[in-house]
Structure 1
């Protein structure tokens, strides 16, 4: 069984790990820990844009987190705004098959339950990539590419049948 660690600057509800486990078909174990990323963020902040250079932060951290405390995957939930070259912003970033995912929450804000639902979707989306899933063409699937917050709101936290079948085979 894969072990996932979610390090977060955002206060997540106590059942957040259970929700992630549920949508990953209970094939994973999830733990959350609160932390502060201010030091890291300051190193990768583009002052001109007021955003974190997400791909540079990912490239810096990924080799440092492989096998961290026995976890197979690590997700950083960062209370800030991220971007990659060529895009105005990203909700999250990872590499297909990578061990680390970053989720940026600044553009995910809304009333509390909506905010948490958006974070859950982005965490599940980025974890899908870490396990080998690519973007899906089904706009209701969590693996659908979100170009806007409306795209994120439209898609479910669940995976479509095709993505879930592939995910099950990748996780077994």
Structure 2
């Protein structure tokens, strides 16, 4: 399987590296990182001061030529009535998106810069693996240690492992 990472906007190299590493380690896939793309026209909602996640998925699907394509952005995303999303993917689709905006949070306080950087990197890897899991047909998992567990807050992201549980792993084989 080939997964294309499509950076949207100014995405730092360490984020692209974390995304690639997470995908390779969990799905044993090839990863291609595209050149950065501009924010999609019409994605910004001035009433919310956020960006619509679906526009980023459409962009990833257009630009990426992998079997699975994922947009990665530092912008704050929303989806429908949700206040925010870390990411979004359509079940069994080929496009998805992850935002790093809310994965860095003030709850990281008290950690050294090195620890905070490692925590942030772990979160990026988990969310990338999670969204690509949806494109592979995986739904949310009840196991709170599984990367496919629904995590509406960073604290819940932090509880998860960076890998699939045995049940989810069997579904993608």
> Compared with structure 1, are the counterparts of its residues 10 and 76 closer, same or farther at alpha carbon in structure 2 (3 Å cutoff)?
farther
For residue 141 of structure 1, report the CA deviation from its aligned partner: 0.3
| Residue 106 of structure 1 pairs with residue 63 of structure 2 | no
Residue number among 150, 153, 160 corresponding to 1:148 in the alignment: 153
Question: Which moves more between the two structures, 48-57 or 146-155?
Answer: 48-57
For residue 36 of structure 1, report the CA deviation from its aligned partner: 4.1
CA distance in 2, matches of 1:76, 1:62: 5
- Taking structure 1 as the reference length, the TM-score comes to 0.83
What are the equivalent positions in structure 2 for 1:56-75 lying under 5 Å apart? Answer: 56-58=55-57, 60-61=58-59, 64-65=62-63, 68-69=64-65, 71-75=66-70
| Residue 125 of structure 1 pairs with residue 125 of structure 2 | no
The answer for the alignment partner of 1:46 in structure 2 is 45
| Residue 116 of structure 1 pairs with residue 121 of structure 2 | yes
CA distance in 1, matches of 2:24, 2:32: 10
Secondary structure (helix, strand or coil) at the match of 1:113 reads helix
The answer for the alignment partner of 1:164 in structure 2 is 169
For residue 64 of structure 1, report the CA deviation from its aligned partner: 2.8
> Compared with structure 1, are the counterparts of its residues 136 and 50 closer, same or farther at alpha carbon in structure 2 (3 Å cutoff)?
same
Residue number among 89, 94, 111 corresponding to 1:94 in the alignment: 89
How many residues matched? Answer: 159
The answer for the alignment partner of 2:32 in structure 1 is 31
Q: Deviations over 1:3-43 (max 9, x none)?
A: 0111222322647524421111x2x21122451433x1x52
| Residue 5 of structure 1 pairs with residue 22 of structure 2 | no
The ranges of structure 1 where at least 4 consecutive aligned residues each deviate by more than 3 angstroms after the TM superposition are 13-16, 60-63
The answer for the alignment partner of 2:80 in structure 1 is 85
CA distance in 1, matches of 2:13, 2:102: 16
The answer for the alignment partner of 1:20 in structure 2 is 23
For residue 127 of structure 1, report the CA deviation from its aligned partner: 0.3
